[in-house]
Amino acid sequence: MWPQNHMLFFILAGMFSLKRIFSKKTPSLDMKKFLIVGLGNIGDQYQNTRHNIGFSILDHIASKNEGLWESKKLATRTVLKKKGRQFILIKPTTFMNRSGKAVRYWALKENIPLENILILTDEIHLPFGTLRIKAKGSPAGHNGLKDIESELNTPNYARLRFGIGHEPKPFDQVKFVLDPWNEAEEKVLTQRIEKCGEATLSFGLEGLATAMNRYNGK
């Protein structure tokens, strides 16, 4: 049998070693996380349509930062790290009207607080290419935002609305949002998506208030 003092020594030594391991700072755990959600519909027939601008913005951000998309539960996902921040980008695979299910799942899985969630969506009531970031608000008839509000049980989440404009009334709103961009829009679309990508990263790097002041109406 081990002498009692020897046993005590090994117990204390083991406890000290564990304390050292768990007290070490792990960069990935210390890194502030943000969930960036682009809204859209899956399927080739929806690519490059007005309603899928959220997907297009995330594709642009991922491409500029060498992000690789992976198929995960309820979404395709990529993770970017910039200046001590971790941006978890997701494109829900639930279709637009059930986007909230993916938002709720990934927010809980990654332990991301409500104030660190940003939704990228189209806005028919804003002129084409206009950006508007808000800390909260109503869905304004947008079914994707309606479902997110229902799943999160609050309207108090940040959203970046990308103006897609609208045709003179009367017009078929459903057809309009599901149509591809017209020739005039295509000429400046890349530039506007670039600006939207900057605003998205500003939300995480500089904060909501700064992003709003710098990019709203631009």
**Contact yes or no for 53/40 (Cβ under 8 A):** yes
Domain CATH for 183: 3.40.50.1470
For the annotated catalytic residues, the residue numbers are 51
In a domain, 148, yes or no: yes
Name the pTM for this structure. Answer: 0.84
Q: Render 148-169 in DSSP notation, one character per residue.
A: HHHHHT-S-SEEEEEE---PSS
In a domain, 55, yes or no: yes
Q: Which of 63, 26, 35 is nearest to 157 (CA)?
A: 35
What would the two tokens of residue 81 be?
Answer: 């790290």
In a domain, 23, yes or no: no
In a domain, 118, yes or no: yes
Q: What pLDDT does 123 receive?
A: 94
What total number of domains does the chain contain?
1
In a domain, 19, yes or no: no
Burial of 78 (C-beta count, 10 Å sphere; 0-12/13-18/19+): buried
Residue 94's domain comprises: 30-215
- The upper half-sphere exposure of residue 95, i.e. CA atoms within 13 Å in the direction of its Cβ, equals 4
In a domain, 14, yes or no: no
Going residue by residue through the chain, which has 218 residues, state the pLDDT in tens, using 9 for 90 and above. Answer: 445 555 444 444 444 433 433 333 333 445 799 999 999 999 999 999 999 999 999 999 999 999 999 999 999 999 999 999 999 999 999 989 999 999 999 999 999 999 999 999 999 999 999 999 999 999 988 999 999 999 999 999 999 999 999 877 777 888 999 999 999 999 999 999 999 999 999 999 999 999 999 999 88
